[in-house]
Amino acid sequence: MSTPFTTVAGVTVDTRHWIGGERVASAGTFTDTSPIDGAVIGEIARGTEAEAAAAVAAAKAAFPGWAATPRAERARVLHAIADGVEKRLEELAVVETTDNGALLRSHRRGVMPRVAHNFRFFADWLLRLDHEDFETRGHTNHVSWDPAGPCVLITPWNAPLMLATWKVAPALAAGDTVVLKPAEWSPLTASLLADIAAEAGLPAGVLNVVQGYGSEIGDVLTSHPDVRRISFTGSVPTAQRIAASAAARLTPLSLELGGKSPLLVFADADLDLAVDLAVEQYDNAGQVCLAGTRLLVEETVAAEFTRRFVDKAARLRQGDPRDEATDIGPTIHPRQLEKIDGFVQRALAAGARAVVGGHRRDGQYYAPTLLTDVAQDSEIVQEEVFGPVLTLQTFADEDEAVRLANGTRFGLAATVVTGDPARAERVTARLVAGTVWVNCFFVRDLQAPFGGSRQSGVGREGGTWSFDFYCDLKNTVTAPKGWQDHG
């Protein structure tokens, strides 16, 4: 490598791996570019099988000491990491905006504060993690959460640091050690996290960061005999490859995968609220797994809903995400832009109508798009686009609404907009989804289980569910008698 550092908006970022408490270079690099303008950000260490194996070895070596660290001390270190995130919040925000193109105002006000909260929440939850002892025929049952071992965490590019720390924080709190593999399209804040964790006093080898392409190092990480847990957020095809790799050793998996979530609008809904929630699905240029990209609107109000939607969408400002006035930034990468446009153009060729957008803009920007006249079995309705593209279908009654809503292979989330509490209860009970919002969207609490049904995932994250995954649960049964007198 010509230089092990790059400077982003005045912030110095080390572009090498972080393994065993040290910076480690690779023979090769890959180029990281900004979606804002296509400019080269830096040359990033391109991990090989050797670096991946070294990271697992470092995590294995560090595991006994970290697992034996008292809960209170682990919690203290996690709070210190949160302190470091808050201290460097502005730096993290500007680096991540440059790297993945999401709005700077969102990073400052919501995303990076949530990163710190992830560490604080799981630190505090660790200290209250408990199961009341219970008796069986006079025998005492005691449930405990034992650290499982080294974990491989593979994270996506759409909210790089927040989604990484959803996994890193509970894994560290549980007493596990971590090999973090960030997405190659947005690797920089993972490197900064390594610095912050080291400054907070996290022992060497407890957190390792390996950069590179999943096709080159993924199998080493996911099939390694010393890895005890694998958590992945991303696409279904990649998850299938990871699952196949992990299967030989029966390594437990947590998979948060794609979505094709419905947003149901009933005739008794507050239409202004419904339109606000629908337009909100363009957040992060539609690169949100939870986004309600399938608008299902009761036919008696569909025309009025569409009119209001078009009017509100026309007021969105798309442009440089560093500008406070911008509502929608760019797509992450030229390949993603091609994928989005391919979906839209095939839909238009098949008879869909673009009520809003339907085309590229300069650079890596795709116009917010709403397509109507789409069939339930069409590609644009069935497959995840992961861009600022929504479809609109109508329904006649609750039964049809539920049938359409459940009519894909996914089941990540759903949103219901109605003015009738009884209807909300009926409909939500019938929806296949890991999370359902009623008259709101994206209200997330780390106490709640998060994950998907069907091909949207395996397992749940959040609260005790995270510890259930990152730990080996043990039940110790003690007889009421039989102790020897050692007096």
Instruction: Name the residues annotated as catalytic.
Output: 256, 289
- Residue 203 gets which letter from DSSP? P
Give the count of beta carbons closer than 10 Å to the beta carbon of residue 465: 18
Round the CA-based radius of gyration of the chain to a whole number and report it. Answer: 24
How are beta strands 134-136 and 229-233 bridged, if at all?
A: unpaired
Report the sign of the C-alpha dihedral through residues 105, 202, 180, 233, in that order. Answer: negative
- Is 191 within 8 Å of 99 (Cβ atoms)? no
Amino acid symbol at 331: T
Q: In 3D, which of 199, 135, 141 has the Cα closest to residue 474? A: 141
In angstroms, the CA 403 to CA 407 distance is 6
Q: In 3D, which of 296, 282, 277, 254 has the Cα closest to residue 402? A: 296
CA distances from 213 to 98, 154, 158, 237 (A): 20, 11, 16, 15
Helix (H) or strand (E) holding 393, with range, is strand 389-395
In angstroms, the CA 330 to CA 124 distance is 37
In angstroms, the CA 40 to CA 63 distance is 37
Q: What is 143-185 written as a DSSP string?
A: EEEEE--EEEEE--SSSHHHHHHHHHHHHHHTT-EEEEE--TT
